[in-house]
Amino acid sequence: MNKTIAETREFLRSFVSAVKNVNDVDIVIAPPFTALSVAGEEIKGSNVQLAAQDIFWEEKGAYTGEISPLMLLDAGCKHVIIGHSERRQYFFEEDVIVNRKIKAAKKAGLGVIFCVGESLKEREAGETFDVIKREVEMGLAEIAPENLVVAYEPIWAIGTGKTATNEQAQEVHAYIRKLLGNLYGSKAEGIRILYGGSVTPDNVDSLMACKDVNGALVGGASLNPESFAKIICFKKEK
C-alpha cells in the first residue's frame, strides 16, 4: 500500500528510463489499484509489464470494494499476484479462495503470480514442506500450468530484513519444483519460481545463482527506482 497516483507517475518516469535497455529478463510492476491506469499509461511501449496486487473471482456484481478480472484487463494489466502472504495473514484468505482467484484470473487471460510460504512458527516447528505442499496442491487444484509463475515468500523474511540463506531458498524452490512436477509432469520445467523475502541489490546476485531460483518478487526495495533497477540488472553467474 504505497505510492499515490502522482508518486507512481514520478516513480515510473525514472524507473522506465533506468531499465529501458534491459532485454534479458521480464520486468513486472504491481502498483495499488488506484494507480493502475496511470501506471499503464506510463509504461506503454516500454519493456515493463503491469500487474495487480490482488483480484476477485467474479466478473461483476454486488461485491462492494472488490476488483474484477475484467477491470484489471481494462486498466492494462497482464498479470496478477494471488495468494500473497499479507492477503493470507491479514485478510484470512484460505487456499480455496486463492484457487478460485487463480481460476478467474486464468479464465480472463491474466498471467498468475501465485505466492506460497511458511511463517516463522511453522519453519521452527519443522512444518515448512507440509505448508508448501498444502498451499501448492490446493491452490493449483484444477489449474493448468500455462501462464503461471510461482513465488516462494518465507513470511519470516518479508519486510524483516531477514533473508533465507541460499541453501534455504534452493531447498524450498527444489521442493516446489518437485511438487509442480507431480502436478504437471515435464511441463513443470517451464514454470518460473521466484524468491520473495527482503531481496535487495546486495543479496540478489547470490540468490539468483541458485539452480531453482528463476527470479525475484521484490517488496520494499522496489519502492525506490534506483534500487529496483539494480536488482533487475543483477550479475549473472558465469
Among 42, 93, 118, 153, the one annotated catalytic: 153
Instruction: Indicate if 66 belongs to the active site.
Output: no
Q: Where are the beta strands (DSSP E) in 78-162?
A: 79-82, 111-116, 148-152
Among 79, 84, 118, 122, the one annotated catalytic: 84
Question: How far is it, in rounded angstroms, from Cα 68 to Cα 190?
Answer: 28
Instruction: Indicate if 173 belongs to the active site.
Output: no
Whole-number Cα distances in Å, 115 to 10, 41, 50, 93, 99: 28, 27, 17, 12, 11
Phi and psi angles of residue 206, each rounded to the nearest 5 degrees, phi first: -70, -35
Rg (CA), the chain: 17
CA dihedral of residues 151, 17, 22, 48 (deg, nearest 10):
40
Active site residues: 84, 153
